[in-house]
Amino acid sequence: MAVVLRLQRTGKPKQAHYRVVAIQKTAAAKGTAVEVVGHYHPKEAKAKALVTLDMPRVEHWLKVGAKPSETVLSLIRTAKKAADAPAQ
């Protein structure tokens, strides 16, 4: 079972929200996810609200061999930067 971390679109038309999911590589875009590990709201102004990831679960999936999409990899980096940044 090849698992990937990718985005799954939700929300109304022209108001996209995305779930970051661990899903089988062959599953359809709207297929059943193995696990939802976060959310991405591209229209959100604040970086902390933009990406919400359950980092221990993301690290677990990466450790067991899940391949992240390019976009999800970028979101993981953004979430780590936001977590490391000092609170204002």
Q: Which domains does the chain have, with CATH numbers?
A: 3-84 (3.30.1320.10)
Predicted local distance difference test score (pLDDT) of residue 47:
58
What sections of the chain are H helices per DSSP?
A: 47-50, 55-63, 70-84
More confident residue, 47 or 82: 82
- When the pLDDT of each residue in the chain is averaged and rounded to a whole number, the result is 88
| Token output for 23 | 């899903």
pLDDT digits (tens, 9 = 90+) for 32-52: 889 999 999 988 776 567 889
pLDDT value at 70 more than 90: yes
pTM for this entry: 0.85
d(CA 42, CA 16) in angstroms, rounded, equals 7
Radius of gyration of the chain (CA): 13
d(CA 21, CA 52) in angstroms, rounded, equals 12
pLDDT value at 87 more than 70: no
Predicted local distance difference test score (pLDDT) of residue 17:
92
